Amino acid sequence: MSAAVWQWRRPSVLPGFGLALGYTILYLSLIVLIPLSAAFFKTFALTWTAFWETVTAPRVVASLRLTFGASLIAAAINGIFGLLVAWVLVRYRFAGRRIVDALIDLPFALPTAVAGIALTAVYAGNGWIGRLLEPMGIKVAFTPLGVIVALTFIGLPFVVRTVQPVLEDLEPELEEAAATLGANRWQTFQRIILPAIWPALLTGFTLATARAVGEYGSVIFIAGNVPMVSEITPLLIITKLEQYDYAGATAIAVVMLLISFALLLLINLLQWWTGRRMVRI
Amino acid sequence: MSDVFALPAPVAARRRATAEPVLVRAGLIGIAMVFLGVFLVVPLAAVFTEALRKGVQAYFAALTEPDALAAVRLTILVALIAVPANLIFGVAASWAIAKFEFKGKSVLITLIDLPFAVSPVVSGLIYVLLFGLQGWFGPWLQAHDIKIIFAVPGIVLATVFVTFPFVARELIPLMQAQGSEEEEAARVLGASGWQILWRVTLPNVKWGLLYGVILCNARAMGEFGAVSVVSGHIRGLTNTMPLYVEILYNEYHFAAAFAVASLLACLALATLALKGLVEWKARQEQDNGEPVFEYGAAT
């Protein structure tokens, strides 16, 4: 056995390769790969027409449109404000900066169900912020706007955490040179800083989108879940399951899986690009 | 002290030369704080306010309900199984990936990250497809009277799936950065594989490991979507804390729902505090010339 192994791995004096890799592949297969493939095999039980009819039903299409639209808008909000927050945290010194910095990760640490009911309480018509918005005719809770708010919350750390290290590593000489050549701060930002952090910003945006597309817990409380209006795709999967429509649920799940994998590929490409860019700078 | 650490003298001087006007600075800080306030601080404060709305007594009464206690117990049980399972996997995977060179390594790393890309709902669904009544193993399981879906094993499996990459993806880059010279030296001096792991490798990566475990635990205890699909929502039996919050909320027991939610919020705050502590300790050791631990790799 070892003779075959030596062909595809570089020799090492360290022991335990076979055991560690064997366990890794076994555990990975049992927990992740075999269950995931079950979803694909289950869809093969459907004919192509049945599959296509399921995933292009008006209710499914409406939910996909809402899920992706809201995810992209939320990621864009996080792109703009995340960059601003990262900038403020890296460049400025103010009281409580460290606490604010630690708090950024709250959406990673707070269970999504808790985030969901908290956001609903805050943005409902009688909530702390909802009360201020209602006189202006803006309803957040139980509308598609609520979906965007929830997805903005759970995607908040991604852009901040991808842009922050790049801003920290930015060479001050570049900005000094720009200033010496007569650029004002806005020009320096546009022409020097933004191009340097652009790949990181795009990576954060894509990560936030990918997370938002699959999100369930924080959305369902605030969304109102009206079919065709404020029903997200993951909820539709659960609805189908509760009606014992396993084939339908799986067909939608496979569409979501394919989209997730495409986004994962995009993220890997972006990170590869970021790595390349960093070497070049 | 923090300013000294973050701003060595030449950088501070540069800031003055190419800094924004004071008003712009204040404006940007203001906008950032309002954004974070509206999206992070206000909802967090709302959890505790709503929890105490009916008074301290009602708060503690809600937490000591038998169903609430059962949910706390189940949540802890699930985390006690899922976190060690993924910890052992993380150590094994990072040992194989970081200490050896072999073909197909990057594919393996991508596959380990896969659960992060999958919607929680889909993560639960795939186990229903395997072990549910209509699933692959459903008839066999029923014939042998084994329940996985709508029972505790299903909840554990779904939780293991969603927390799968946490420890591994902290350890792999860290151990790759450290190289394997120390392990090779230990080997040459006659140490066995387990001795190398316990005395050389694990002490070197302890902060990264702890960081991964903290994040893994937070997600394991807080997971909602995946667990919701496989749980069946049986009170006192298959309700974890997040699921119990949902049930109370949907039954309009808002104060009780927020009371249980406040426990989870405390867990989140403790997670953030511990995470900060680990980052700080790791940075201290890094300043003392010890191996680098790159924080924030897990997202």
Phi, psi of B102 (to 5 degrees): -150, 160
Q: Is residue B223 assigned to a domain?
A: yes
Q: ipTM for the complex? A: 0.88
User: Could you tell me if residue B171 is inside a domain?
Assistant: yes
Tell whether B81 and B204 lie within a shared domain.
Answer: yes
Q: Measure in Å the smallest separation between the Cα of B167 and chain A Cα atoms.
A: 13
Number of A to B CB contacts under 8 A, please give it.
Answer: 306
Domain membership flag for residue B195: yes
In a domain, B296, yes or no: no
Which of A9, A32, A173 best tests the B interface by mutation, with the highest count of B CBs <10 A?
A32
Number of domains in chain B: 2
Interchain CB contact of B271 with A (< 8 Å): yes
Same-domain pairing of B64 and B127: yes
pLDDT in tens, B91-128: 999 999 999 999 889 899 989 989 988 999 999 999 99
- The verdict on B21 and B101 lying in the same domain is no
Helix (H) or strand (E) holding A134: none
- Is residue B147, in this structure, part of any structural domain at all? yes
Structural domain range at position B98: 53-287
Query: Which tokens belong to B53?
Result: 């709305």
Query: Do B45 and B149 reside in the same domain of the chain?
Result: no
Residues of B in contact with A149 (CB under 8 A): 39
Q: Are residues B66 and B187 in the same domain?
A: yes
Pick from B15, B35, B127: CB nearest A35: B127
Residues B25 and B151 in one domain: no
pLDDT digit string, tens, across residues A127-163: 899 889 988 888 888 899 999 999 999 999 999 999 9
Q: What are phi and psi for residue A211, nearest 5 degrees?
A: -65, -40
Per-residue model confidence as pLDDT tens digits over B20-64 = 888 889 999 999 999 999 999 999 999 999 999 999 999 999 999
The rounded Cα A176 to chain-centroid distance in angstroms is 35
- Asked if residue B298 is part of any domain, the answer here is no
**pTM for this prediction:** 0.88
pLDDT band at B11 (very low <50, low <70, confident <90, very high): low
Considering only CB atoms, A152 lies closest to which of B29, B39, B134, namely: B39
Query: Is B292 among the domain residues?
Result: no
Same-domain pairing of B110 and B219: yes
Residue B293 lies in a domain: no
Chain B residues within 8 A of A108 when measuring between CB atoms: 215, 218, 299
| B87 and B40 in a common domain | no
Co-location of B151 and B40 in the same domain: no
Say whether residue B157 is in contact with chain A using an 8 A CB cutoff.
yes
CATH of the domain at B163: 1.10.3720.10
Same domain, B21 and B159: no
Residue B195 in contact with partner chain A when CB distance is under 8 A: no
Same domain, B115 and B213: yes
Closest partner residue to A105 (CB to CB) among B24, B125, B272 is: B272
Task: Tell me, yes or no, if B103 comes closer than 8 A to chain A by beta carbon.
Answer: yes
Contacts with B114 from chain A: Cβ below 8 Å: 32, 36, 264
CA B196 to chain centre: 28
Note whether B46 and B115 are same-domain residues: no
CA dist., res. A106 & res. A67, Å (int): 23
Count CB-CB contacts under 10 A for residue B141. Answer: 18
Six-digit token string for B234? 């049986």
* Closest to B260 in 3D by CA, of B272, B236, B243: B243
